[in-house]
Amino acid sequence: MLNGVAIDDGFAEAFPMKATRLVITAHTPDWARHAAVAATGFATSVIACGCEAGLERELAPAETPDGRPGVAVLLFAMSGKELAKQVERRVGQCVLTCPTTAVFAGLPQAPLPGQAVPAEDGTMPAPAAGDTVALGRNLRFFGDGWQAAKVIAGRRYWRVPVMDGEFVAEESTPVVKGVGGGNLLLLARDTDAALAGAEAAVAAMRRVPGVILPFPGGVVRSGSKVGSKYPALPASTNDAFCPALAPLVARSALGPQDRCVLEIVIDGLDEAAVAAAMRAGLAAIVARGAAAGVHRIAAGNYGGKLGPFHFHLRRLLPETAA
């Protein structure tokens, strides 16, 4: 118990994914955001969307490769092959089509063979780890033969003529091992309290770099369990946390005071990023106190059978609180 909020002695179970970061820039912040929002649409869950994606943060001109305002987005998929397909489709349909945009790899990338540029002290940069997937490599063919390549600082960019000028896209983007499925379950006295608590937690978690919260507004009400009574479904409603089913299911996790449960799902570029986001969310709820209506925090897991990453809630708390 911390500030009246009960923290379950349990863990959130997460699983490995493939991930990449893209930097989308445009003439104004609004147009960069339009492209980023479109490119990360319909990407809440790999169960049916193919990938999980979201806006990581907005970028100032000094932070982008071309000195224009931008947005960093993260995309996660269960395989490098699926991630490559999602990147190409989403950039092709949502970024190439958006006025004034360009797109760049947002993770460290090894320079082309023979094109590495030495640092000011004369040393050569260490090659970046990981595979890559196509970014502008295939989209360049939209230029119908008018496209042109440019190598800058050992990295290749494609310039594709379009009706407002040209679309610039880096040739490829690195793929890294990511972590998907970190989560917090917020148990509250009513809908208003659950929403207010979730919004506070989401605001805190979104300040953590390297993570996204892929569901609408960062929150999901249809938390799921693995499997279903219907063989064709890979997942179904998490009945243990459904208030309406509490009197009906044998293993309800809820008490009479639990009238609304909301879940926050976190995907991150690494285990530390997911842990940091969960810690931030926990701290935000605890700071509000049980009087605000969220009186318990739990997490979803499947007995350790779904994934190798286990985020124990009480270990994420400060030592004094734990």
Q: Where are the domains of the chain?
A: 6-13+178-316, 18-176
Instruction: Read off the pTM.
Output: 0.92
How many Å apart are CA 200 and CA 211, to the nearest integer? 16
DSSP for residue 2? B
- Structure tokens that stand for 298 in this block: 């739990």
61 by DSSP, 3-state: which?
A: helix
Q: How far is CA 142 from CA 102, 138, 158, in A?
A: 15, 8, 11
Contact 293, 196 (CB under 8 A): yes
- Per-residue buried b or exposed e for 73-92, using 16+ beta carbons within 10 Å of the residue's own CB: bbbbbbebebbbbbbbebbb
CA end-to-end distance (rounded Å), the chain:
9
How many Å apart are CA 244 and CA 261, to the nearest integer? 11
How many Å apart are CA 151 and CA 27, to the nearest integer? 23
Percent helix, percent strand, percent coil in the chain, to nearest 5 = 25, 35, 40
How many Å apart are CA 75 and CA 56, to the nearest integer? 10
How many Å apart are CA 50 and CA 253, to the nearest integer? 31
Work out whether strand 260-268 and strand 172-188 pair parallel, antiparallel, or are unpaired: antiparallel
Contact 79, 19 (CB under 8 A): no
**Domain 6-13+178-316 in CATH 3.30.70.520:** yes
**pLDDT tens, position by position, for the chain (322 residues)?**
899 999 999 999 999 999 999 999 999 999 999 999 999 999 999 999 999 999 999 999 999 999 999 999 999 999 999 999 999 999 999 999 999 999 999 999 887 776 655 556 655 454 454 699 999 999 999 999 999 999 999 999 999 999 999 999 999 999 999 999 999 999 999 999 999 999 999 999 999 999 999 999 999 999 998 889 999 998 999 999 999 999 999 999 999 999 999 999 999 999 999 999 999 999 999 999 999 999 999 999 988 878 999 999 999 986 545 4
Instruction: Quickly list DSSP for 73-127.
Output: EEEEESSHHHHHHHHHHHHHHHTTTSTT-EEEE-S--PPPTT-----TTSPPPPP
**Domain 18-176 in CATH 3.40.50.300:** no
In 3D space, the residue among 180, 143, 199 whose CA is nearest the CA of residue 270 turns out to be 180
**With the CA atoms of 242, 216, 281 and 59 taken in that order, what torsion angle do they form, in degrees rounded to the nearest 10?**
170
- Structure tokens that stand for 251 in this block: 């293993």
Whether 6-13+178-316 and 18-176 share one fold: the answer is yes
